[in-house]
């Protein structure tokens, strides 16, 4: 284990974690005003916020965490490297000279002393743009210190109009909560009241959030942002789990029409049932569960009653139950087991899986209509790809190979 000392990276690591948790806190705050607001990490700035109708951020945020209390320096790296970063971002956005300027926020745990331009750039009645700009130009034009010379030179390389435009958009939020104080701030903003499950609820929210942060920071993934609505939906999932609150059921089951059944005739979900010898009437019954469970899950996602991650958690639980059933019934199948016995084993796998799935709620601690679980397992069966698919679901003992043949283009 690394020992604390001159080479310790603890402060730097805390700074990264602070940026991540500050983004959660800031998104939670904005959720009270606009649930469509989106947050991004490390694209143009540490943290940035967007509206749902544009890809351009309306706010760029630099986060600076220092464990030791102290004054924010007019000549220090925390401020001037933030300025350089904003100039680069505004250049990319084409906003240095024209267009709507985003808010440029520096959130720091240090304190901006009175009389400094940093104090004059705080929000409130004491904000003085002209005085702050004049003092900034004076500091930027000085020779020392050398560790911010390039950043200050970049600022002075702007035209006078650009410098004014830039400084007018800067807001210094000093004396911000330390890393150790963020939990209580996040809990308060999210409305997590002190009580028996408060710590567990907050831990679950943060666990989900760190997963989202990893996806946001992975440039090879498709996720570009997280919305306030997603955060609130995940919070509701977690709190409802502790309260045992049921997900709403909006679908009313009825027998499918011949046309609706025919629409699925070439789908893998039907082929899976045909491989174990199910008759048309039985297949139609299973398709009813499949059809309405798909519609209900889509409605939950559309209305933010459940998140994609919450649904994936449910599907993993269903897969695990199927895996136990499948293993138990197919362990006795040998290479020379007759086809009729293979089909019979597949029927037992289907029947027992359906019984298990019917009693598994989509949200732990609640209850769910039995057809939701049955239909969701059928959806998993409809996604099976090949013998190499480790997360597939099927009924026939040989379903992986059958799926591969089914999914191959005709004529091969």
DSSP string, 16-84: HHHHHHHHHHHHHHHTTT-TT-EEEESSSSSEEEE-TT-SS-SEEEEEE--SS--BPPSSSHHHHHHHH
Burial class (CB in 10 A: 0-12, 13-18, 19+), 185: middle
Collapsed DSSP state (helix, strand, coil) of residue 217: helix
pLDDT band at 11 (very low <50, low <70, confident <90, very high): confident
Q: What is the pLDDT averaged over residues 291-295?
A: 96
Q: CB under 8 Å to 103, separation ≥6 — which residues?
A: 58, 59, 60, 169, 171
Tokens for 219?
A: 């440039």
0.85 surpassed by pTM: no
Task: Write the pLDDT tens digit of every residue in 234-276.
Answer: 999 999 888 888 889 989 889 999 999 999 999 999 999 999 9
Q: Are 107 and 22 in contact (CB under 8 A)?
A: yes
Q: What is the pLDDT averaged over residues 13-28?
A: 95
Q: Is the dihedral of CA 176, 179, 180, 186 positive or negative?
A: positive
Alpha-carbon gap, residue 35 to 31, rounded angstroms: 5
Alpha-carbon torsion, ordered 366, 370, 376, 378, to 10 deg:
160
Q: Does pLDDT of 411 surpass 60?
A: no
Tokens for 404?
A: 């591969």
Number of other residues whose CB lies within 10 A of the CB of residue 71: 14
Task: Write the pLDDT tens digit of every residue in 161-216.
Answer: 999 999 999 999 999 999 999 999 999 999 998 887 899 999 999 999 999 999 99
Q: How far apart are the first and last CA of the chain?
A: 57
Alpha-carbon gap, residue 216 to 27, rounded angstroms: 14
Alpha-carbon gap, residue 62 to 85, rounded angstroms: 9
């Amino acid at each position: 284990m690394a020992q604390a000392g001159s080479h310790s990276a603890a402060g730097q690591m805390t700074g990264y974690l602070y940026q991540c948790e500050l983004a959660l806190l800031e998104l939670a705050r904005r959720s009270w005003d606009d649930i469509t607001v989106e947050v991004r990490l490390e694209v143009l700035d540490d943290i940035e916020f967007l509206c749902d109708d544009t890809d351009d951020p309306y706010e760029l945020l630099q986060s600076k965490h220092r464990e030791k209390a102290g004054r924010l320096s007019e000549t220090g790296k925390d401020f001037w490297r933030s300025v350089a970063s904003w100039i680069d971002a505004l250049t990319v956005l084409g906003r240095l000279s024209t267009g709507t300027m985003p808010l440029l926020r520096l959130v720091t745990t240090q304190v901006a002393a009175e009389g400094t331009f940093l104090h004059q750039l705080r929000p409130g009645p004491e904000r003085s743009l002209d005085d702050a700009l004049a003092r900034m130009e004076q500091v930027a034009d000085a020779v020392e210190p050398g560790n911010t010379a390039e950043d200050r030179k970049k600022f002075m390389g702007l035209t006078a109009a650009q410098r004014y435009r830039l400084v007018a958009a800067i807001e210094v939020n000093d004396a911000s909560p330390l890393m150790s104080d963020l939990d209580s701030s996040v809990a308060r903003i999210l409305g997590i009241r002190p009580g028996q499950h408060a710590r567990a609820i907050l831990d679950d929210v943060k666990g989900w959030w760190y997963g989202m942060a990893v996806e946001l920071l992975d440039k090879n993934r498709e996720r570009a942002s997280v919305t306030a609505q997603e955060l609130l939906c995940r919070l509701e999932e977690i709190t409802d789990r502790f309260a045992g609150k049921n997900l709403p059921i909006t679908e009313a089951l009825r027998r499918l029409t011949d046309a609706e059944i025919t629409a699925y005739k070439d789908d893998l979900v039907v082929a899976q049932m045909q491989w174990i010898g199910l008759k048309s009437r039985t297949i139609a019954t299973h398709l009813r569960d499949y059809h309405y469970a798909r519609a209900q899950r889509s409605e939950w996602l559309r209305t933010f009653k459940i998140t994609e991650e919450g649904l994936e958690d449910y599907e993993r639980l269903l897969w695990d139950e199927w895996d136990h059933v499948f293993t138990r019934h197919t362990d006795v199948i040998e290479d020379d087991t007759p086809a009729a016995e293979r089909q019979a084993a597949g029927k037992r796998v289907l029947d027992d899986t359906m019984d298990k799935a019917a009693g598994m709620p989509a949200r732990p601690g609640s209850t769910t209509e039995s057809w939701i679980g049955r239909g969701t397992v059928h959806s998993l069966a409809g996604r099976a790809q090949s013998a190499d698919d480790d997360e597939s679901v099927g009924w026939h003992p040989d379903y992986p190979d059958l799926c591969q043949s089914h999914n191959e283009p005709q004529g091969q």
